[in-house]
Structure 1
Amino acid sequence: MALRPHLFVPTTDETTRFTSPSTGPRERFNVPARDRAAHAQTLVEQLEAVAPQAIARAKEQRALGLDAGLGIYLRFDSEPNFPLKFESLDVTRSGIQLCNVRTLPDNTMQATVFVPENKLELFLRKIEAYRDENTTPRAEGGIARPKNQDLVESISHIQLAALEALWTEETLPFPDQEAPVTWEVWLRREPRVDHLARLRGYAEHFNLAVGDQVLTFVDRIVVLVRGTAHDLARSVDILGMIAEIRLPKVTAEFFTAMTSIDQQAWIDDLSARLVPPGANTSYVCLLDTGVNRGHPLLTPLVAQTDLHTYKPAWNVDDRYGHGTEMAGLASFGDLTDVLAAQGQVNCTHRIESVKLINPDDPHDSTLYGAVTAESISRVEVTAARNRVFCMSITSTDGRDRGRPSAWSARVDELAAGLDGGPKRLFVISAGNTVADQRRHYPASNFTDSIHDPAQSWNALTIGGYTDKVAIDGTKWPQWQPLAPRGDLAASSCTSATWSRWPFKPDIVMEAGNLASNPTIVDPADLDDLQLLTTAHNFATRLGLITFGDTSAAAALASRYAAMLWSKYPSMRPETVRALMVHFAEWTPAMRARFVNDDGRPDYKTLLRCCGYGVPNLPRLLSSVDNRLTLIAESELEPFFKDGSDIKTREMRPHALPWPIDVLSDLGNTEVVMRVTLSYFIEPSPGGRGWTPRYGYQSHGLRFAVRNPLESTADFERRINKFARDDEYKAPGLSDPGWRFGRLSGLTSVGSLHSDVWHGTAAALAARRHLAVYPTMGWWNKRPHLEAWDRTAHYSLVVTIETPGIETDIYTPVATQIGVPVEIEI
């Protein structure tokens, strides 16, 4: 679908007097409506059609000399926009293994399952039990349900799986059938069969070449295989050992193992492909150890006049290395990917630097708030720019446990512009776990708290996760990645030990990985598992160096924010922060790790450890025809003085432009809405207890969304006590579908709130009305400070999506607000 710019919605709705908010319940597993007998018969017939193929496949396997591990691959599909109960397809006690789960562009979930010989009968029994038997109600008067209902009704189709069903590269097309390709093959691992040895033994028979390097996980073995898709498919059909296939990734070790001459050739090639940004662009301002702009990759992006220092005696250069390494990642992301790519590289933003720290001349730690403020003033005097202030200089003193410090409170003030300057966007690393405790991963993530000043309410705090798991097994035998792919990085601190302070980090970005060896106590820092960036001592040594931990994650997040701000230069800092969270999501590994005893997601711990997840860059930058993002930047006056009392003053309704006709036509189609509210608070860091009177935040804001079954007037009465008369009775309407829901309390801490709603298009058509309203803080509880008449600014982001449905909800809304419908190049 065509890429479109996000839409900014002018605020035209008048504020109304306000007094009180509301809540909503949890969602449950959603399955399509089925005719029980007919659906069971359809699935039985599909399984029976597969049975002769299973028998024929087993004969072929035996003819090849195999006597164990025989079986076939089945593909189970859901209905579009409905989940598949794929966990129930994994029956390990019977040898049935779930290999992979994919979500297709039409939002169909697809699971590929290996089924051993003679085990098809198990699925037949499950379907027949669904058709013929009911569950026993848990309580008297309860409702009996068909057995296996969620599993069977979630399945739309069953068929024999082709090789393409094992392809798990979501953003890459499946290679041509006859083109030789180097595949990253993920083998199933089971005690009775050595699948790697079997693959090596039959590789020549199938015209395949198997690499020497091997990566072993608890239930998978990864190896590189060279051959065509056609030949690999034949081996899958006969050998039945593959769980999934991907394309291999180049690692940083490929470049760090080079000589300086070889590295320089790659650097020169990339330098020739760089297209510098235009004059009016955003900047990443690094508050770090300085930057050496003479590096060939940084010279086009860093002007000499944009290098500053806290102390003139320090000079502006980087003698320690950290700042130049941050600059490379903030400019390009992981250079491993950029160097290996082809074509020109369009740079979107530039780099500034303030040398905030000099390890040879350390600050008194109690002065870092002042040092930070002074350093910011040094750079702001040069020009008014959209700056992303990136800081990974943090204190390892973890005693705050989320409680604001002088440093974090000063950051909050600077972000809110309370020093008389502009509002500012801070991106701060969450801090790194103690190195000698990482052997205890993942327990060490829970015990190491977010570092000061990353507990700042107004900053965007960045933790780390990792997708880097490939190790050269020849060079590093017995070494395995410490963190699984997609999981929290070993270096990332969390707020797991905090109780009433905001959830931190806000998001996570790639932070690299460590390697573990069963014969060695401490994990190792291998280049294979790190990010590649610009080296500060490029003139005398290598020009490229590996880098990682939450410093790297913060640099990557700053790059995303700067790219966003360059595209939408009129955005407020609160809006950039909102969008970074709004388009973040948890990886499957995060969701799998953080679950409650009942198997449901442990959202509180997820937020405390992973924030809202990993941002999706394409979604961050653009809408598409079937995914529309609306942005409203507004304000309200939370309080007013009535005699000697300070009372809540107003809420602001938002009647958003909405594709009502399109959504109504879609009827029961599954759709998604996400709402994010971002604002900056004024801090009061005195430690006088967690109460509205002596609490840290000046005020709070919340959002509410109209239910499908209520009128606009009923919506206002539900959330606003001031609008009710004496006879008002709460309607008792439930609003299922929200990820968190109002009762959980997960959207009521901090100054950044986000929630996701799933439901039908018909229900979404009636949900264009939202409202933002105030909650208590010290502005209204401490009248002698005379802050009750201040204005609260906020950014509200709403995205609606019809996943997998090729429909246009963008154009009707753009037309309503008078915006030309653009297609981005």
Structure 2
Amino acid sequence: MNMPESYQHLRIEREPLRNDRRTKKIKLPRLERANMRAHGQHLLSGLDRAVQQAKQQVSTATEGYVLKLKYSGNLDFTHLIKHGVEFISQEDRQLCVVFGDEKGLATFAEHLQRLGLDDAELTYKQILEALDGIDNWTSEDRKSWAISQKGLPAEGAFSLDLELWPVKVSHHPERRVLYENFEQWMKDSGIKQLDRINRDSLLMYRVEVTPTQAEMLLNHRDIRLVDLPPESGISPVLLMRDINELPKQISSPAKSAARVCILDSGINTNHPLLKPAIAESKSFIPDQDEFDDVGHGTAVAGIALYGDIEACNAGNYWQPNLWIYNGKVLFKNPNGDDAIFREETFEKTVVEAVEYFVELGCRIFNMSIGNATAPYDGKHIRGIAYILDMLAREHDVLFIVSAGNFMGCGDPPVPLNSWRDEYPDYLIDDASVIIDPAPALNTLTVGSIARHAATLDGQRYPEEISQLAPATEAQPSPFTRHGPSVRGALKPELVALGGNLASPMRAEGDEWRPHTRGLGVLTCHHQPYERSIFAEVNGTSFAAPYITHLAGRLLNEYPEASANMLRAMLVNHADLSAESSSTFSAEAIKSYAKANNHRELAREVVGYGQVDEDVLYRSSEEAVVLMAEDGIENDSHIFYELPLPKEFLRSKRALRELRVTLAYTPSVRTTRLDYRATRMSFNLIKGTSLEDVERHFNKETQDQEKRLNDSVKTKANRAISSEVRSKGTVQSSIWSMRQLSPRYKWFVVVTRQDNDWGKEMSAEIEPYALVVTLTDRENEQAQLYTQIRERIQEQERIRARIK
């Protein structure tokens, strides 16, 4: 059987015009108060009470107080300074935090006193009118989710993570005074400082304390958050195979092959399947070598290198195509078999490791790490996620992270009785939300789907009912965690094989005990010469490196591709499987959509879905991938005319598919709910000409031009709405159409709009990647690639004549 011919993907260019984005002046509604005078007095009383409470707390600042402002509607953060207080952070949709010194608070009090007086002329009075109340930041506000749920150790010394209010930027004199005074106070109080990380919107410490000192920290008014250190753990099940059955010689990758870094518990680089592809190793754990005595890092590396090891093993075919770089950032728990973070701040370790391997040419980083004590609370992105978002932008590297594993919880119990009977309800339970660093926007987050459903006992004794798995092949794994991330961004974006679990069925009341033997994925064992070549593992930790493997192979094909392009390509080829979409009942899907602004329930768990590798690397005559990398100014549009041949646009009924994916890497800030300094989006538009489309988007003629005949936006043929996809920094949708018209041209329009607060943080020209896939599979004589290539050449000739 002859294999179909394949071709390098094609590149397209923007049209030679730039259009300013249509802007609208939005007049925010004023909040009407029945008695403005009484409202001002109520706020004044709250201010006085909050300041008095704050004075009872510990502080190391020379002067000043941190206050909570509760508000209704919209609040103008930029001009809070006009009333004597300075914006620090927006904590949720109706709560912001401000800082005020004695002079500023006097101004604030004076303005509140004048509120409601007929002759009072207050600038930005609407800010005061929007306030509902003023309060102090309390010890309860400072408790993280982990401390609220688990409490603090009752005795002995233990570690805590602290976030201080990020006053000013990292090198500002006021920031320096803040942390120097705080560190002196800790020293005087006998609190042991283990480490510090100082970033523009993150001032974080790891400290060692007693219970009494922990209470002091919870009542320190310069502290924003007190948290337990991160946790991470695995327990892989081992499988056996004779090492002599492997090929005698396994060749190394090409010298130019992609360089992939595994940041994990180290790698045992003498494993016969890994050794030919190991480039360099380094430990970032003091007094420890780079080798893996846990097994997690070696297992991750095996999947990152070979992808589907079960398939490789079936054919005993092993051909490494990537170079593996080993960065040890976890080590074995002295009191257990799991991998843990070092005592110093883990975020600082990650920065050090990434910068080291970037210098060695690594473009892709796998981090199968999850902090179970930091579930995403729907507000700010913090911790490791924030650091990865910054590093991804700074170094143009792709981070691939796991969504985290949910192994049940006890208060309240989830699942209550049975993993099997209560599937899939707990997949979307509040207890199974993604954990740090999975919420990061500038990364790819990967959840897990199942492959196997028969446990080892079920395979050995098929006549008996032993354990039963809730998920079948291609359904979400019972332990995978769900999104969304900040402001509703789809997370995870992708899913891959990560294993399954089962409920024991023979013992009454034991169905909540997860059983995993025989349900995992195959990978490399960290002790191949002592125990086994292979290990069986379960978890999203092992779904993530499969995507890392695909990303590395993509980089081999397109070595100049940016991290944005790699993200866009992978998501562009993802599909929501029938198994995933049917996991939830029709009633549950309808109920969730009604309560969540028409969002799709399944996508909160699996995102864009599973990557289809059919045309991921190469195009064919019936499926063609178009690529573009460019940059865009603020408040502007960029237009791409898709080079669709007449044969594709034929009016004869036949299924044709058009996929569009956009990826960019904005600056981020943890003190803002919007988080992204820059927002980009795309629209798929059809029109009779470029001028037709350009007029539609031109702000000068927006009132004169009627709306284009934009049937591509209808729900009937579009997979994901612009409202949902635009929340993330990688955005994709699919249009399926059976009848087209040759009289229309098709365009993708990329738009950029910066937040007001983000303009100084953003580049004048922000880079992005765009990927479009055209498919015409029902045309047996399709020559789509040839025809599109000719159209692109024709467009290039036209542009050359214009120049």
Q: Same fold (TM over 0.5)?
A: yes
Q: 1:20 to 1:518 in 2, by over 3 A?
A: farther
* Counterpart residue number, 1:805: 779
Cα deviation, residue 481, structure 1: 2.2
Q: In the alignment, does 2:540 pair up with 1:550?
A: yes
Q: Within 2, Cα distance between the matches of 1:727 and 1:621?
A: 44
Q: Within 2, Cα distance between the matches of 1:590 and 1:380?
A: 37
Q: Within 1, Cα distance between the matches of 2:624 and 2:572?
A: 13
Instruction: Please give the per-residue CA displacement for 1:265-305, whole angstroms capped at 9, x wherever unaligned.
Output: 33x23x54x443210011221010101110111110113xx
Q: Which residue, out of 701, 713, 726, partners 2:680? A: 701
Q: Which residue, out of 493, 496, 510, partners 1:509? A: 496
Q: In the alignment, does 2:456 pair up with 1:469?
A: no
Cα deviation, residue 359, structure 1: 3.4
* Counterpart residue number, 2:642: 656
Q: 1:714 to 1:742 in 2, by over 3 A?
A: farther
Q: 1:536 to 1:706 in 2, by over 3 A?
A: same
* Counterpart residue number, 1:495: 483
Q: Which residue, out of 381, 385, 390, partners 1:404? A: 381
Q: Within 2, Cα distance between the matches of 1:595 and 1:782?
A: 42
SS at match of 1:390: strand
Instruction: Please tell me whether the aligned partners of residues 672 and 801 of structure 1 are also in contact (alpha carbons under 8 angstroms).
Output: yes
Q: 1:474 to 1:432 in 2, by over 3 A?
A: closer
Cα deviation, residue 415, structure 1: 0.5
* Counterpart residue number, 2:669: 684
Cα deviation, residue 480, structure 1: 2.1
Q: In the alignment, does 2:530 pair up with 1:540?
A: yes
For residues 192-271 of structure 1, what are the structure 2 equivalents within 5 Å?
258=240, 262-266=241-245, 268-269=246-247
* Counterpart residue number, 2:20: 17
Instruction: Please tell me whether the aligned partners of residues 627 and 770 of structure 2 are also in contact (alpha carbons under 8 angstroms).
Output: yes
SS at match of 1:620: coil
Cα deviation, residue 594, structure 1: 3.8
Q: Within 2, Cα distance between the matches of 1:475 and 1:789?
A: 61
Return the letter of the residue paired with 1:317.
Answer: F
Q: Which residue, out of 308, 313, 320, partners 1:339? A: 313
* Counterpart residue number, 1:606: 602
Q: Within 2, Cα distance between the matches of 1:464 and 1:817?
A: 39
Q: Within 2, Cα distance between the matches of 1:336 and 1:489?
A: 18
Instruction: Please give the per-residue CA displacement for 1:397-419, whole angstroms capped at 9, x wherever unaligned.
Output: 244324300321111110011xx
For residues 344-423 of structure 1, what are the structure 2 equivalents within 5 Å?
344-360=317-333, 363=341, 367-381=345-359, 383-385=360-362, 387-402=363-378, 403-417=380-394, 422-423=395-396
Q: 1:368 to 1:670 in 2, by over 3 A?
A: same
Instruction: Please tell me whether the aligned partners of residues 269 and 275 of structure 2 are also in contact (alpha carbons under 8 angstroms).
Output: yes
Instruction: Please tell me whether the aligned partners of residues 740 and 746 of structure 1 are also in contact (alpha carbons under 8 angstroms).
Output: no
Instruction: Please tell me whether the aligned partners of residues 641 and 690 of structure 2 are also in contact (alpha carbons under 8 angstroms).
Output: no
Q: Within 2, Cα distance between the matches of 1:680 and 1:449?
A: 24
* Counterpart residue number, 1:174: none
TM-score by length of 1: 0.62
Q: In the alignment, does 2:750 pair up with 1:772?
A: yes
Cα deviation, residue 20, structure 1: 5.4
Q: Which residue, out of 316, 320, 324, partners 2:298? A: 324
Q: 1:743 to 1:800 in 2, by over 3 A?
A: closer
* Counterpart residue number, 1:86: none
Q: Within 2, Cα distance between the matches of 1:514 and 1:741?
A: 30
Cα deviation, residue 347, structure 1: 2.4
For residues 565-644 of structure 1, what are the structure 2 equivalents within 5 Å?
565-594=555-584, 596-597=586-587, 604-638=600-634
Return the letter of the residue paired with 1:722.
Answer: K
* Counterpart residue number, 1:81: none
Q: Within 1, Cα distance between the matches of 2:583 and 2:341?
A: 40
Return the letter of the residue paired with 2:453.
Answer: V
SS at match of 2:511: strand
- Judge which range, 577-586 or 806-815, deviates more: 806-815
Q: In the alignment, does 2:425 pair up with 1:443?
A: yes
Instruction: Please give the per-residue CA displacement for 1:543-565, whole angstroms capped at 9, x wherever unaligned.
Output: 21111210010111111111111
Q: In the alignment, does 2:253 pair up with 1:277?
A: yes
Return the letter of the residue paired with 2:787.
Answer: P
* Counterpart residue number, 2:704: 727
Q: 1:663 to 1:805 in 2, by over 3 A?
A: same
SS at match of 2:769: strand
Q: 1:715 to 1:7 in 2, by over 3 A?
A: same
* Counterpart residue number, 2:11: 8
SS at match of 1:377: helix
Q: Within 1, Cα distance between the matches of 2:342 and 2:272?
A: 35
Q: In the alignment, does 2:475 pair up with 1:483?
A: no
Percent pairwise identity: 24
Instruction: Please tell me whether the aligned partners of residues 329 and 342 of structure 2 are also in contact (alpha carbons under 8 angstroms).
Output: no
Instruction: Please tell me whether the aligned partners of residues 674 and 798 of structure 1 are also in contact (alpha carbons under 8 angstroms).
Output: yes
Return the letter of the residue paired with 1:493.
Answer: R
Return the letter of the residue paired with 2:469.
Answer: P
For residues 712-723 of structure 1, what are the structure 2 equivalents within 5 Å?
712-718=690-696, 720-723=697-700
* Counterpart residue number, 1:148: none
Q: Within 2, Cα distance between the matches of 1:323 and 1:776?
A: 39
* Counterpart residue number, 1:670: 655
Return the letter of the residue paired with 1:626.
Answer: E
Instruction: Please tell me whether the aligned partners of residues 604 and 746 of structure 1 are also in contact (alpha carbons under 8 angstroms).
Output: no
Q: 1:465 to 1:729 in 2, by over 3 A?
A: same
Q: 1:299 to 1:742 in 2, by over 3 A?
A: closer
Return the letter of the residue paired with 2:355.
Answer: S
Instruction: Please tell me whether the aligned partners of residues 657 and 774 of structure 2 are also in contact (alpha carbons under 8 angstroms).
Output: yes
Cα deviation, residue 368, structure 1: 2.5
Q: Within 2, Cα distance between the matches of 1:329 and 1:657?
A: 38
SS at match of 2:512: strand
Instruction: Please give the per-residue CA displacement for 1:740-779, whole angstroms capped at 9, x wherever unaligned.
Output: 57867212201111111122463477343221111342xx
The count of corresponding residues between Structure 1 and Structure 2 is 547
Q: 1:752 to 1:792 in 2, by over 3 A?
A: same
Q: Which runs of 5+ in 2 are unaligned?
A: 25-236, 335-339, 594-598, 795-803
Instruction: Please give the per-residue CA displacement for 1:75-99, whole angstroms capped at 9, x wherever unaligned.
Output: xxxxxxxxxxxxxxxxxxxxxxxxx
For residues 105-144 of structure 1, what are the structure 2 equivalents within 5 Å?
none
Q: Within 2, Cα distance between the matches of 1:605 and 1:20?
A: 33
Q: Within 1, Cα distance between the matches of 2:391 and 2:640?
A: 29
Q: Within 2, Cα distance between the matches of 1:363 and 1:681?
A: 28
Return the letter of the residue paired with 1:536.
Answer: H
Q: Within 2, Cα distance between the matches of 1:680 and 1:15?
A: 21
Structure 1 vs Structure 2 CA RMSD: 2.8
Return the letter of the residue paired with 1:475.
Answer: R
* Counterpart residue number, 1:158: none
Q: Which residue, out of 772, 775, 790, partners 1:815? A: 790
SS at match of 1:621: coil
Instruction: Please tell me whether the aligned partners of residues 329 and 555 of structure 1 are also in contact (alpha carbons under 8 angstroms).
Output: yes
Q: 1:815 to 1:493 in 2, by over 3 A?
A: same
Instruction: Please tell me whether the aligned partners of residues 503 and 513 of structure 2 are also in contact (alpha carbons under 8 angstroms).
Output: yes
Q: In the alignment, does 2:457 pair up with 1:457?
A: no
Q: 1:570 to 1:474 in 2, by over 3 A?
A: closer
* Counterpart residue number, 2:731: 753
Q: 1:459 to 1:599 in 2, by over 3 A?
A: closer
* Counterpart residue number, 1:90: none
Cα deviation, residue 257, structure 1: 5.8
Instruction: Please tell me whether the aligned partners of residues 631 and 765 of structure 2 are also in contact (alpha carbons under 8 angstroms).
Output: yes
Q: Within 1, Cα distance between the matches of 2:343 and 2:16?
A: 47
Q: Within 2, Cα distance between the matches of 1:358 and 1:290?
A: 8
Q: Within 2, Cα distance between the matches of 1:623 and 1:443?
A: 39
Instruction: Please tell me whether the aligned partners of residues 308 and 379 of structure 1 are also in contact (alpha carbons under 8 angstroms).
Output: no
User: 1 or 2 for the larger relative contact order (CA 8 Å, sep ≥6)?
Assistant: 1
Instruction: Please tell me whether the aligned partners of residues 265 and 292 of structure 2 are also in contact (alpha carbons under 8 angstroms).
Output: yes
Instruction: Please tell me whether the aligned partners of residues 686 and 709 of structure 2 are also in contact (alpha carbons under 8 angstroms).
Output: no
